[in-house]
Structure 1
Amino acid sequence: MDSTDLPEDVQGRPSILSILLFTAIAYPVLKAFYNIYFHPLSKIPGPVLHSVSRVPYVASLLKGWAVHDLQKLHQRYGPIVRVAPDEVSIAQAEVWNEMFQPRLEHEVDSASVRTIRHREFLKDPIWWEPHGTTNGKVANVITAIDPEHHARLRKVLAPAFTSRALKSQEPCIQRYVNLLVERIREAATASEDEIDMKDWFIFTTFDIFGDLGFGESFNCLENSRYHPWVARTFGSIKAVVWVVATRYWPAIHYLLLLCMPPSIREMADEHRRHVQEKVRQRMNYEVGRPDVFSPIMAARRDGDKDVAMSMDEIDALFSSLVNAASETTATTLTGTLNCLVQNPGPLERLTQEIRGTFNDESEITIDALRDLPYLNQVLKEGLRLFTPVPWIMPRRAPPEGATVCGVFLPGGTSISTQTYTMNRKQEYWHEAESFIPDRWAPEALTNEDSPFYNDRRDASQPFLVGSRACLGQHLAWAELWLISAKLVWNFDFGQAEDPERRLKWESLKTYVLVETQPVWVKVKPRPYLA
């Protein structure tokens, strides 16, 4: 039977299969053509493949190289780069005020001046909506997208992180920093080899948060090893990136969840159970000083249901805070010490300042360190180069669109902020890749002859700005001051002998947080203190 035997109205009509085949081929081609030439973001510079598909960007994220790849893209294409069909990356200092601060503009017409308050850039649900992998499916103060929900949670928690609260918490922090010094002294005395300081920093910050958050330490310092729960939290970060990234393709996301190994589900369930156990245990007793839990309990006792956190919200909060309040500070300490031992000049100057300021270790307090010039310069430089969150997960332009850094972005555009790139931007910093604490000296701000006079210090915002600025920054600064000062007071540090043991920070991968590696350093107790 040939085509002439078919009914006349069927002859020459394409088959359904051929239509589907044509569509399968033509649609991606037409979609790619549209994305490159007619999409609202088509004027934003960037690689053609990124304009066509999100795959290259997501692949870079999953490999852990996104911050490095994006730095190269910004160096080539400028401060605003199109990294996916509907997403841009921004590495320009003005983004902090234009995206993260309340936006007020004055519009002048012939009769009057109107003040316009622009809508917020809300967190992108793809990345911020609770995913259930480790912290359940309830939003907390870190992940909350709705501004009113976030404001309520933050209002409850804020009293735990004020300067006044920190004063009453200082004895607790001092106790763990002193225990850190004791453990490092034991390790340095017992071995002639170098010490990996990364683990000790993590032990300390996790123990501090365990005490301030749950009323009891994780005993990492006491036992000189990771608490099993703490050790498991690190692997979960990478799993979260994989789960969230597949949300761009719902079918793949569904299959990933379907095929997820039982061990990962078990780890997530165990994490939630451990948090719930710790939370309920903390609720059953009072501590002798205000801690992170105190205002939460107070709000529940007051009986104001419109303010108080539910049990699900409390569990979700502490699931996230375990890492957010601990691993981040440890990352900055790790990077800063690694750079100090590789730069003997700044290390010697810091050592002289600490040992020349105090006659006895007992004098080293938060208030005594708060205004110590060179210590703060060192830590600010550490926060610039070793910021624990190298990229800020995306937010979305409001529905009506918005102009950011001089470029109009249509409503719904996803926008990520590249702190790693900004903090190493040659246009912003003299010798941008170098560790130079003097760039933060007061005279660098006022002396026009200083090579650092034109540095864009406003580009470095390690604790963010606006309503979503880090609640725990006072605690973070206290830990940075005390740990750095007491280590330098008690020990002489030096670079590892073997070049293979010297950490190159730029080689580290990032999965939301930096995946730190061992930092081997020589450690010798001060002779007369030993």
Structure 2
Amino acid sequence: MLPLPTLSTTILTLLLYPLAKALYNILFHPLSSSKIPGPTSWSASRVPFLARLLRGTLIHDLEKLHLKYGPIMRIAPDEVAFAHPDAWTEIMQPRQGKRQFLKDAMWWSTPNNKSMMNAIDVGDWARMRKTLTPGFTKGALRMQEAVVQRYVSLLIERLRERVHAASSGGPDLDPDKRKGVTVDVFPWVNFLTFDVFGDLGFGESFRCLENGRYHPWITLIFDNVKGIAFVNAAKYYPALDWVLQWCIPASLRKVQEDHFQHVVDRVQRRMNWEVVREDIMSHLLKEAKENGSTGMSMDEIYYSFAGLTVAGSETTATVLGGVLNYLSALPEKRRIVVDEVRAAFADEGEITLSAVEERCGYLTAVVNEGLRLCPPVPWVLPRRVPEGGETVCGVWIPGGTAVSISQYALNRSPSLFHQPSSFVPERWLESSTADPSSPFYRDHRAAVQGFSVGPRACLGKHLAWVEMRLCLARLLWGFDVEEREGRALRWEELRTFLLVEKKPIEVVLSERDMA
């Protein structure tokens, strides 16, 4: 037992240390000399930031704070957030004569840091990206359009079954309009995107659409979204992180191992196929055959495909859900895009990717507006300023500082967009971008980067556009989609735990009148 004076000194030190640390952060931290505005409590301690992260309100709180403090704001003792359009180029893009801002190891480094997404070393990342890129090019995806079409057709078939079942007065029949069926579309668009990636990535879908429910592997991801936020928060306090890791029960570790083994099994089954077909994995196999190696270790392939499954599916479904939510609540916008799609195609079989791209300009504007208001990654994880410091958006930032992009606040900035919180696809039309008299002429459309920019921009961007265009075109061609009396979500109220919270998007779905 410690002597009483020693015990008192220890207690006093423990009590005073946080206060001394907070005063240092406010007055003497290298970032303090930059005079960057921000709430004092956030500059003093990481606690306010982490509290909002764990509550799921971080992006909304950052939006409010940016409105008060401006587009460049200190949000932690060692972090600056940007809601400035130039941040995309100055943080994410390599610039001549400038050192790269590397991914923040606090968020990306893991015990099994073997995936392309988690790779911090530029050389490791470049090697893996080069290996995976051929499967995601526009040309490759056009050859795989039939796969996407097959699952969109299955989605349409499943939804038609629900409409037909309800037409006889089943429990899902809309009680207000006595027509159509009330459907929560969020799970269905998730079923679509996960099944598509399962097929293209592993040669077999997750059979979500077929079974009308999530595969257990996917359910585990969604069930642990909040837990992932806690794990990341704990990294800022090593002692707490150690306790958290020590407290993980053996049963949960077994679940994690089984979860990863599911990916391993799928990858191995696909790599052992004798049938030749074009998909994401086929390009790795082709390189292995020609050069004797894929350029990636098997662990790197396993971990990369596990990450790509989520990154290439959940994010696309978020935008699709957001678009359908807004269209259901805005009949005037819905009517414009529905009329465009139905006028463009006399038969559902005519709806191909190239035809949608060519004939459906308003639908493309709808997707772009969905990316603006419902960004799949509302807060862009931090990069670290290189040693020696660097200027970002005209402000000097000391080396080692974390810099992040508040994409949600940026996309809704009243200084960058007319009617910033309103769903207005017209801002993306050529008539708005080329006409100085348009209220949207001065909108900073380049500020919206739903797939990020630079070398580490989203690898699945083209796949996402294929899915979104084909899914929306065929849904709106075949169904009438309306809001269930007052049931449209307020997107602004959805919490975010790195991934956007999934709440029901209930719409009234009925087959279009072909008469």
Q: State the TM-score bracket (shorter-chain normalisation).
A: over 0.9
Q: Give the counterpart of 2:128 among 153, 160, 166.
A: 153
CA distance in 2, matches of 1:344, 1:313: 47
Q: Which runs of 5+ in 2 are unaligned?
A: 167-172, 175-181
CA distance in 2, matches of 1:385, 1:315: 33
Count of matched residue pairs: 496
Q: 1:18 deviation in Å? A: 5.0
Match of 2:500? 514
The Cα offsets for residues 213-252 of structure 1, whole Å up to 9 and x where unpaired, read as 1101111111111112121121233222211210111110
Q: Partner letter of residue 305 of structure 2?
A: F
User: Which is higher, the Rg of structure 1 or of structure 2?
Assistant: 1
CA distance in 1, matches of 2:427, 2:514: 34
Match of 1:228? 216
Match of 1:203? 191
Match of 2:334? 347
Q: 1:264 deviation in Å? A: 3.2
Q: Answer yes or no: is the 8 Å Cα contact 2:37–2:73 preserved in 1.
A: yes
Match of 2:164? 189
Q: Answer yes or no: is the 8 Å Cα contact 1:188–1:195 preserved in 2.
A: no
CA distance in 2, matches of 1:220, 1:28: 50
SS of residue matched to 2:280: coil
TM-score, with normalisation over the residues of structure 2? 0.93
Q: Give the counterpart of 2:65 among 44, 50, 73.
A: 73
Question: Does residue 34 of structure 2 align to residue 40 of structure 1?
Answer: no
CA distance in 2, matches of 1:155, 1:185: 42
Question: Does residue 438 of structure 2 align to residue 450 of structure 1?
Answer: yes
Between the aligned residues of both structures, percent identity stands at 48
Q: 1:260 deviation in Å? A: 2.1
Q: Partner letter of residue 168 of structure 1?
A: M
Once the two structures are superposed, the pairs formed by residues 290-369 of structure 1 within 5 Å of their partners are 290-303=278-291, 308-369=295-356
Q: Which moved more, 1:190-199 or 1:201-210?
A: 190-199
Question: Does residue 484 of structure 2 align to residue 504 of structure 1?
Answer: no
Q: Which runs of 5+ in 1 are unaligned?
A: 1-13, 105-116, 132-136
Identify if the C-alpha distance between structure 1 residues 22 and 233 changes in structure 2 by more than 3 Å, giving closer, same or farther: closer
Q: 1:21 deviation in Å? A: 4.5
Q: 1:188 deviation in Å? A: 1.3
Identify if the C-alpha distance between structure 1 residues 281 and 83 changes in structure 2 by more than 3 Å, giving closer, same or farther: same
Q: Answer yes or no: is the 8 Å Cα contact 2:73–2:81 preserved in 1.
A: yes
Q: 1:274 deviation in Å? A: 0.4
Q: Answer yes or no: is the 8 Å Cα contact 2:328–2:488 preserved in 1.
A: no
Question: Does residue 52 of structure 2 align to residue 60 of structure 1?
Answer: yes
Once the two structures are superposed, the pairs formed by residues 105-504 of structure 1 within 5 Å of their partners are 117-131=97-111, 137-191=112-166, 192-193=173-174, 194-303=182-291, 308-371=295-358, 372-497=360-485, 499=486, 501-504=487-490
Q: Partner letter of residue 517 of structure 1?
A: K
CA distance in 1, matches of 2:155, 2:514: 19
Question: Does residue 491 of structure 2 align to residue 524 of structure 1?
Answer: no
SS of residue matched to 2:90: helix
Q: Give the counterpart of 1:93 among 81, 85, 105.
A: 85
Q: Partner letter of residue 31 of structure 2?
A: L
Q: 1:16 deviation in Å? A: 4.1
Q: Answer yes or no: is the 8 Å Cα contact 1:129–1:139 preserved in 2.
A: no
Q: Answer yes or no: is the 8 Å Cα contact 1:159–1:165 preserved in 2.
A: yes
Q: Answer yes or no: is the 8 Å Cα contact 1:181–1:487 preserved in 2.
A: yes
Q: Which moved more, 1:28-37 or 1:474-483?
A: 28-37
Q: 1:25 deviation in Å? A: 4.1
CA distance in 1, matches of 2:350, 2:252: 47
Q: Answer yes or no: is the 8 Å Cα contact 1:220–1:226 preserved in 2.
A: yes
Structure with the larger RCO, 1 or 2 (CA within 8 Å, 6+ apart): 2
Q: Partner letter of residue 514 of structure 1?
A: V
SS of residue matched to 1:462: coil
The Cα offsets for residues 83-132 of structure 1, whole Å up to 9 and x where unpaired, read as 1111111111000111111212xxxxxxxxxxxx111100000101125x
Q: 1:297 deviation in Å? A: 1.7
CA distance in 2, matches of 1:296, 1:138: 20
Q: Answer yes or no: is the 8 Å Cα contact 1:210–1:218 preserved in 2.
A: yes
Q: 1:458 deviation in Å? A: 1.0
The Cα offsets for residues 176-197 of structure 1, whole Å up to 9 and x where unpaired, read as 0011111111111212231111
Structure 1 vs Structure 2 CA RMSD: 1.6
Q: Answer yes or no: is the 8 Å Cα contact 2:482–2:508 preserved in 1.
A: yes
CA distance in 1, matches of 2:154, 2:11: 69
Q: Give the counterpart of 1:50 among 32, 36, 42.
A: 42
CA distance in 1, matches of 2:480, 2:498: 33
Identify if the C-alpha distance between structure 1 residues 172 and 475 changes in structure 2 by more than 3 Å, giving closer, same or farther: same
